[in-house]
Structure 1
Amino acid sequence: MDFIIKAFQESIRVKKAFFDDPERMELIKTAAEYCIESLEQGGKILFCGNGGSASDAQHLAAELSGRFQYDRKPLYAEALHVNTSFLTAVANDYGYEEVYRRMVEAAGRRIDVLIALSTSGNSPNVVNAVRQAKEQHMITIGFTGENGGKLAELCELCIRVPSENTARIQEMHILIGHAICEKIERTLFPQ
Structure 2
Amino acid sequence: MLEQRIQQQFFESADLQYQVAESLSRPISDAAQMLVEAITAGGRVLCAGLGLAELDARYLAAQLMGRFEQDRPGLAALHLDGRVQQGSGSIDVAAALARQVQTLGHPGDLLLLLDAYAGSEQQLPTVLDAARGQDMSVILLSGSQDEALRAALLDTDIQIRIPHSRGARVAEAFRLVSHCLCDAIDVQLLGAAE
Q: TM-score under structure 1 normalisation?
A: 0.88
Does the 8 A contact of 2:85 with 2:91 survive in 1?
no
Q: Give the counterpart of 1:109 among 96, 106, 122.
A: 106
Matches within 5 A, 1:125-164: 125-145=123-143, 147-148=145-146, 150-155=148-153, 156-164=157-165
Range 93-102 or range 118-127, more displaced? 118-127
The amino acid of 1:154's aligned partner reads A
CA distance in structure 2 between the partners assigned to 1:43 and 1:91 by the alignment: 33
Matches within 5 A, 1:69-84: 69-81=69-81
CA distance in structure 2 between the partners assigned to 1:151 and 1:90 by the alignment: 29
CA distance in structure 1 between the partners assigned to 2:81 and 2:164 by the alignment: 26
Aligned equivalent of 1:30: 30
Does the 8 A contact of 1:108 with 1:136 survive in 2?
yes
The amino acid of 1:20's aligned partner reads E
Does the 8 A contact of 1:34 with 1:139 survive in 2?
no
Structure 1: unaligned runs, 5 residues or longer: none
Superposed displacement of residue 121, structure 1 = 7.3
Aligned equivalent of 2:169: 168
Cα distance change, pair 38–20 in 1 and its aligned pair in 2 (3 A)? closer
Cα distance change, pair 90–78 in 1 and its aligned pair in 2 (3 A)? farther
Q: TM-score under structure 2 normalisation?
A: 0.87
Does the 8 A contact of 2:47 with 2:58 survive in 1?
yes
Kindly indicate whether residue 46 of structure 2 is the aligned counterpart of residue 49 of structure 1: no
Superposed displacement of residue 30, structure 1 = 0.3
Cα-Cα RMSD: 2.1
CA distance in structure 2 between the partners assigned to 1:77 and 1:29 by the alignment: 19
Cα distance change, pair 78–151 in 1 and its aligned pair in 2 (3 A)? farther
CA distance in structure 1 between the partners assigned to 2:115 and 2:79 by the alignment: 14
CA distance in structure 2 between the partners assigned to 1:3 and 1:94 by the alignment: 37
The structure richer in helix per residue is: 1
Range 153-162 or range 170-179, more displaced? 153-162
Structure 2: unaligned runs, 5 residues or longer: none
Does the 8 A contact of 2:50 with 2:120 survive in 1?
no
> What is the number of equivalent residue pairs in this alignment?
186
Cα distance change, pair 160–96 in 1 and its aligned pair in 2 (3 A)? closer
Cα distance change, pair 46–37 in 1 and its aligned pair in 2 (3 A)? same
Does the 8 A contact of 1:47 with 1:61 survive in 2?
yes
SS in 2 for 1:140: strand
